Amino acid sequence: MAELYSVPKLEDYSPAAMDAAVRDLLNALEQEAAKLSGENDWKAFRDRWMSRKSGVLMQITEWLKLAPKEQKRDVGQRVNEVKAKIEAAVDAAEARVNSQASSARLVSERVDVSLPGNRRPLGVKHPVLRVQDEIVAVFKAMGYSIGEGPEVESDYYNFESLNFPPNHPARDTQDTLFIAGQEKKQQRDRLLMRTHTSPVQIRTMEKQRPPVRIVIPGKVHRNDALDATHSPVFHQVEGLCVDTNITFSDLKGTLDHAFKSLFGSSVKTRFYPSFFPFTEPSADMQVSCIFCGGKGCRTCKFSGWIELLGCGMVDPNVFEFVKGNGYDPAKVSGFAFGMGVERIAILKYGVDEIAKFYLGDVRFLEQFA
């Protein structure tokens, strides 16, 4: 191994002697820098030449201290020039070593760009949300906008403003999930998990003057035991249409068109009387069985019909809560409807239990990919 450069002690400080000493130093600096092959070598090189205790740079300052007085200026200039060149050589060596390391890393980690990339498998929309979106799309095509509201509602919006009297069975804790710690509040201010998306109808009418045409998709909660056809959490799509001269015929025509769009033009619809506190008159709507074409099968219990939703004309008492915003029951009328998304998804995909939609079984969900 070649002997490392050591700073000589000068006795002659003439220009010629200084030129020779500086030339030897810079040659040694260049040779040592050229032999560096890694970060550890560079660190040792840096410390040997620039260490504040015993580095070459500190040692050549002795030249200036020992130089005769009349030559100190010339020697000082040369020392400063050497110092600048040493610092530049150390910086250049660092850049070269880093570049070599990066090149080596790129070679070892080289990517074959001709190979196909790693594709992350994409998920698909949940079947319930897919059906919900299909329903919403049908009504959007008819000019309806989408309404949204909170899942944690007050008793006022969930019941009172929808014409539910205080003794209505839906207020019973067996049906409704109430938020704890509400006993000190007035009944209309108590919070609960909304049991239907109908509160969005009132909230919309409070903000928007008629005419109104909205469709309201969303999650709802009820204190129901999980079985083949019931779940404590499920989805609804409701609709509201309010304008002048809206009649029951408009309601029937709208829903008939919507379900023909969903299930095909051969589907028939029929309505029969029912009761809901917020509509008067009220009706349940059935569609002809999409499995047997109305002939009768196990799915439709051999009746040829399947019940899908409730609907009716908005009760004038509901309009009274928003009368100040242009909903005078003497001047406007409207209809409302609501359907369970899971129920339609069960029919559409032939699923026998609602719980299968929520178990997260990939084998089941993959069928809808």
**Is the distance from CB of 60 to CB of 79 less than 8 angstroms?**
yes
Q: What is the pLDDT along the chain (369 residues), one digit of tens a residue?
A: 456 788 888 888 888 888 888 888 888 888 888 888 888 888 888 888 888 778 888 888 888 788 888 888 888 888 888 888 888 888 888 888 888 877 777 666 666 778 777 777 777 889 999 999 999 999 999 999 999 999 999 999 999 999 988 887 777 766 888 899 988 899 889 999 999 999 999 999 999 999 999 999 999 999 888 887 788 999 999 999 999 999 999 999 999 999 999 888 999 999 999 999 999 999 999 999 888 888 888 878 888 999 999 999 999 999 999 999 999 999 999 999 999 999 999 888 888 888 888 888 888 888 887
Give phi and psi for 288, each to the nearest 5: -65, 140
Rounded to 5°, the CA angle 352-355-359 comes to 125
End-to-end CA distance of the chain: 70
**Is the distance from CB of 229 to CB of 351 less than 8 angstroms?**
no
Bridge partners of residue 224, in order along the sequence = none
CA dihedral 223→130→162→310, nearest 10 degrees, is: -90
Give phi and psi for 339, each to the nearest 5: -140, 150
* Residue type, position 114, single letter: S
Q: Output the six-digit token pair for 244.
A: 């002048």
> What's the rounded Cα separation, in Å, for the pair 52 and 203?
77
Q: What share of the chain is helix, strand, coil (3-state, %, to 5)?
A: 45, 20, 40
Confidence (pTM) = 0.65
**Is the distance from CB of 268 to CB of 259 less than 8 angstroms?**
no
280 assigned binding-site residue: yes
* Residue type, position 136, single letter: V
> What's the rounded Cα separation, in Å, for the pair 209 and 323?
10
Q: Which H or E run includes 188?
A: none
Q: Output the six-digit token pair for 58.
A: 């500190």
What lies within 8 Å, CB to CB, of 61 at 6+ separation is 79
* Residue type, position 33, single letter: A
Q: What is the pLDDT of residue 366?
A: 84
Q: How far is CA 198 from the centre of its chain?
A: 26
**Is the distance from CB of 140 to CB of 258 less than 8 angstroms?**
no
